[in-house]
Amino acid sequence: MKTQITDMFGIEHPIIQGGMHFVGFAELAAAVSNAGALGIITGLTQRTPEDLAKEIRRCRDMTDKPFGVNLTFLPVMKAPDYPGYIKAIIDGGIKVVETAGNNPQKWLPALHEAGIKVIHKCTSVRHSLKAEAIGCDAVSVDGFECGGHPGEDDIPNFILLPRAADELKIPFVASGGMADGRSLVAALALGAQGMNMGTRFIATKEAPVHDNVKQAIVAASELDTRLVMRPLRNTERVLRNAATDRLLEKERELGANLKFEDIIEQVAGVYPKIMLEGAMDAGVWSCGMVAGLVHDIPSCKELVDRIMVEAEGLIRQRLAGFVAG
Ligand SMILES: Cc1cc2nc3c(=O)[nH]c(=O)nc-3n(C[C@H](O)[C@H](O)[C@H](O)COP(=O)(O)O)c2cc1C
């Protein structure tokens, strides 16, 4: 399938694997890229720019297809060494960067100078327009359904995507709630040039996370996520577990007085314990409502092939059938 996104990123299928903390290692990014989609290494999961440079080399050993790096600009006091990470990305010959979080404007000249395309993740039309205005090449429009940080507007993709299509000139992909060929066809119908998936790609053979995480996603329904940290205006959609319940209890107890320190135990440094050790109640972890559509653990290639066969079948048969004659 050819879209502006496949052309821009030099990939076969208009599918992107979004950056995911302690999931987006070289193994997953390479497997997704080898399947003809765009794999993405999560920059900040690597503790230093040197570690990221090594991870990029490791990925390059596993695939000769294009892959990208996610750089998340966090609202924290002590910023990570962003100039160092940017240098590792440029020196590593990366051609696609997925940015997320705060405005990436400061970093665009260096990235563009190196011939890198930047796709910025946005949860609203106004942020998408801002991304376009500062010179981002594409946007990943992340609806309220998404795993991770859906922002504070709560607009689901059935509204957000056509609104983005009405306003944006640069291409965008649909993100949040995407799982299969139906998602891709719907995303294209609503104006996107492809789709981005997070949660669905965790439940794959190659995702280098503990099997407990994959099984938790398969077992979950669309009713099993919760929004946490809303009082801090740092809303995150996570899978419901014992830590989520404890955190939400704290939020109820403290109301408007809630501070980050009150919930630090449930959120800080928990990803390695969950993703690598499979300690499922060690803290809260991002997961999308789309878990309700995830029923198996295929290889990335099986997943991507299946999506493309289903999408093309839907377009050629089901949809064409409605207008035939
Ligand atoms: C476990 C997990 C970790 C994530 N970590 C990040 C991250 O570090 N940076 C980022 O930009 N997005 C992150 N995301 C968001 C994804 O890149 C993607 O936008 C989101 O998962 C899309 O929604 P979906 O899960 O419904 O497919 C994460 C998502 C999950 C599920």
Closest by CA position to 187, among listed 152, 212, 160: 160
Last residue in a domain, options 208, 226, 245: 208
Q: 313 lies in a domain?
A: no
Alpha helices of the chain — where are they, by DSSP H?
A: 4-9, 26-34, 49-62, 82-91, 108-113, 125-134, 157-167, 181-189, 199-202, 211-219, 242-254, 264-267, 271, 300-313, 320-323
Give the C-alpha separation, 84 to 94, whole Å.
Answer: 14
pLDDT on residue 267: 95
For residue 77, pLDDT over 80 is answered with no
pLDDT at 76 over 90: no
**What pLDDT is recorded for position 60?**
98
% residues pLDDT > 90 (the chain): 98
268 token code pair:
């800080």
d(CA 242, CA 22): 20
Give CA separation, 32 vs 97, 219, 249, 309, in Å. 16, 23, 38, 16
What is the rounded distance in angstroms from the CA atom of residue 269 to the CA atom of residue 304?
Answer: 32
Ligand 1 is surrounded, with C-beta below 6 A, by 18-21, 23, 42, 70, 72, 100, 121, 142, 145-148, 175-178, 196-200, 285-288, 290
CA of 132 to the centre of ligand 1 (A): 21
Mean pLDDT for all residues in the chain: 97
Q: Residue 92 pLDDT more than 80?
A: yes
Can you give the pTM of this predicted structure?
0.98
- Residue numbers of the domain that contains 268: 211-289
Residues 118 and 106: beta-carbon distance below 8 Å = no
Whether 100 and 135 share a structural domain:
yes
Please report the atom of ligand 1 found closest to the CA of residue 45.
Answer: 8
pLDDT digits (tens, 9 = 90+) for 4-56: 999 999 999 999 999 999 999 999 999 999 999 999 999 999 999 999 999 99
Using the predicted structure, report yes or no on whether residue 75 has a pLDDT greater than 80.
Answer: no
Q: Is the pLDDT of residue 324 over 90?
A: no
User: Which of 44, 96, 199, 210 gets mutated to test ligand 1 (max ligand atoms within 8 A of its CB)?
Assistant: 199
Q: Which of 208, 233, 255 is the last residue of a domain?
A: 208
23 and 55 inside one domain: yes
What CATH number is attached to the domain comprising 184? 3.20.20.70
Count of structural domains within the chain: 2
